[in-house]
Homo-oligomer: A and B are copies of this chain.
Amino acid sequence: MKTILILGAGLSASSMIRYLLQHCEKENWRLRIVDRDKNRILSLINNNQHAEALDFDATVPSVRLAEIENADLVISMLPARFHVEVAEDCIRARKNLITPSYISPEMKALNQKAIDAGITIMNEIGVDPGIDHMSAMKIIDKIKDNGDTLHSFKSFCGGLVAEEHDNNPWRYKFTWNPRNVVLAGKGGTAMFLDNHKFKYIPYNRLFDRLDRITIPGHGKFVGYPNRDSLSYQETYGLKGIATLYRGTLRRPNFCKGFNVFIELGMTDDSFAMANASQISPRDFLNAFLPYIPNLSVEDKFKYFLREDRMYLYDQFEWLGVFDDDTDFGFEGATPAKLLEKLMVRKMSLSNEDKDMLVMYHEFEFEQDGKNKKIVSSMISIGEDPTYTAMSNTVGLPIAISARMILNDQINVKGVTLPIQKEIYEPILKSLEENGIIFNEYESEL
């Protein structure tokens, strides 16, 4: 019998735990799961005899290490800042580890130690990062193996609301940590390659300069650039490529509207507003509008929007930016925190809503002197509030890779991510069997 220790059972862990539970009997596994919210674990494992909810605090090193020593594989779904210390524990105990998070420089520095300990530390194996790597590498390798030349790779991913529930004027509901959505792009200037030129987009233009994308049957999307596309030259082996761009997908209304908040300065998270506890949504907006005597907040906002963006007015009114309720502000609130509260009040998923995960890759390459294009896209719809598209697409690759590691099907040691053919091929195949399917379409340019 093999033991899988799962640290953290938050939003994205449900589908992963379901998959693992489905395989426990056949594979002879037992799951030991810990989370601050024990009731959540109990509801997810639903009396399954192969799983146990634990009681310790996974962020306390001493108790955690004892549990790790008793496991065959550790899956860390803790906040990313804990992954490095968990990895150090796993190296000490010589146990394999999986995390869905980006490899931090500190994590990368553990590579040799992990190799010396003979373990695999598999990272970036959720959806983005994760499925994006695997589905992109599949086509990049295919183009390379065929001796063709890849000129351009653009890739987009976004968590949205499923079309049948996409019923607000922003065309967006939060399917993930709202704070991250409100602070998106704050990490620094976005960088990418466009036709061999380095291009930089500052935060204040991030939601203004959008790529337009249409997915047949699913309508129009736009993409705003992720922070650093340049690093993928190395990760994906694309040195010399002309165009390299990674972005986040949204519906156009969301980006056009959010751009107004950025322009106004309402996404600032660096200071607490004066009188924050008494502020209404109307006061909040007005604090960022020009002072023009005798104009209402509505009229000042219209003046700021300008004629060419006036079609956005209704979606701001719907959001409640002009509301006067004082049960809104709170002590020490930054603009970004107030904006998050304003949006969460109106744009949260209800229990009836389903979410939607969209991934879209575009490859341009030269084959026998001809310019060709491959579009590969995936749309995943959530099942219910527990088994969301986000949870399925994050959790299933983790669970599948867990199965592979326990069955010695992954032989890469050290700190790694799923870009090798022997890893992504079986995982993508298993994902297909679980309904996460990419549509590929090749055409001449």
Tell me if B202 and A268 are in contact (CB < 8 A): yes
Task: Determine whether A201 belongs to the interface, using a CB cutoff of 8 Å to chain B.
Answer: yes
Work out how many copies of this chain go into the complex.
2
Tell me if A230 and B274 are in contact (CB < 8 A): yes
Task: Determine whether A188 belongs to the interface, using a CB cutoff of 8 Å to chain B.
Answer: yes
Which residues from B are CB-within-8-Å of A286?
Answer: 197
Cβ < 8 Å to B, chain A residues 280-309: 286-288, 290-291, 293
Tell me the smallest distance from the CB of A151 to a CB of chain B, in Å: 13
Nearest B residue to A274 via CB reads B198
Task: Determine whether A335 belongs to the interface, using a CB cutoff of 8 Å to chain B.
Answer: yes
Cβ < 8 Å to B, chain A residues 5-24: none
Tell me if B263 and A205 are in contact (CB < 8 A): yes
Task: Determine whether A48 belongs to the interface, using a CB cutoff of 8 Å to chain B.
Answer: no
Tell me if A199 and B268 are in contact (CB < 8 A): no
Task: Determine whether A195 belongs to the interface, using a CB cutoff of 8 Å to chain B.
Answer: yes
Tell me if A265 and B205 are in contact (CB < 8 A): yes
**Option from B188, B194, B263, B293 in Cβ contact (under 8 Å) with A291:** B194
Task: Determine whether A386 belongs to the interface, using a CB cutoff of 8 Å to chain B.
Answer: no
**Option from B189, B230, B265 in Cβ contact (under 8 Å) with A270:** B189
Tell me if A200 and B268 are in contact (CB < 8 A): yes
Cβ < 8 Å to B, chain A residues 188-219: 188-189, 191, 194-195, 197-205, 209
Cβ < 8 Å to B, chain A residues 405-425: none
Task: Determine whether A275 belongs to the interface, using a CB cutoff of 8 Å to chain B.
Answer: yes
Task: Determine whether A311 belongs to the interface, using a CB cutoff of 8 Å to chain B.
Answer: no
Tell me the smallest distance from the CB of A168 to a CB of chain B, in Å: 26
A56-71 contact mask (Cβ, 8 Å, vs B): 1 or 0? 0000000000000000
User: Which of A265, A274, A290, A293 lies at the interface centre, i.e. has the most chain B CB atoms within 10 A of its CB?
Assistant: A265
Tell me if B274 and A202 are in contact (CB < 8 A): no
Tell me if B197 and A287 are in contact (CB < 8 A): yes
Tell me if A202 and B291 are in contact (CB < 8 A): no
Tell me if A287 and B199 are in contact (CB < 8 A): yes
Q: How long is the Cα–Cα vector from A293 to B195 in the complex, in angstroms? A: 9
Q: How long is the Cα–Cα vector from A271 to B107 in the complex, in angstroms? A: 22
Nearest B residue to A267 via CB reads B202
Known contacts A271-B188, A271-B189; is-contact A291 B204 (Cβ 8 Å): no
Tell me if B202 and A265 are in contact (CB < 8 A): yes
A240-270 contact mask (Cβ, 8 Å, vs B): 1 or 0? 0000000000000000000000111100101
Nearest B residue to A198 via CB reads B274
Cβ < 8 Å to B, chain A residues 370-421: none
Task: Determine whether A273 belongs to the interface, using a CB cutoff of 8 Å to chain B.
Answer: yes
Q: How long is the Cα–Cα vector from A123 to B50 in the complex, in angstroms? A: 71
Which residues from B are CB-within-8-Å of A268?
Answer: 189, 200, 202
Which residues from B are CB-within-8-Å of A274?
Answer: 191, 198, 230
A-B contact pairs, 30 of them (CB 8 A): A188-B270, A188-B271, A189-B268, A189-B270, A189-B271, A189-B335, A191-B271, A191-B274, A194-B291, A195-B291, A197-B287, A197-B291, A198-B275, A198-B287, A199-B287, A199-B291, A200-B265, A200-B268, A200-B287, A200-B288, A200-B335, A201-B265, A201-B288, A202-B204, A202-B263, A202-B264, A202-B265, A204-B204, A205-B264, A205-B265
Give 9 new A-B contacts, CB below 8 A, not counting A199-B287, A199-B291, A205-B264. A188-B270, A189-B265, A189-B270, A189-B335, A195-B293, A199-B288, A200-B335, A201-B265, A201-B288
Closest 7 CB pairs of A and B: A202-B265, A204-B204, A194-B291, A198-B274, A189-B268, A198-B287, A200-B287
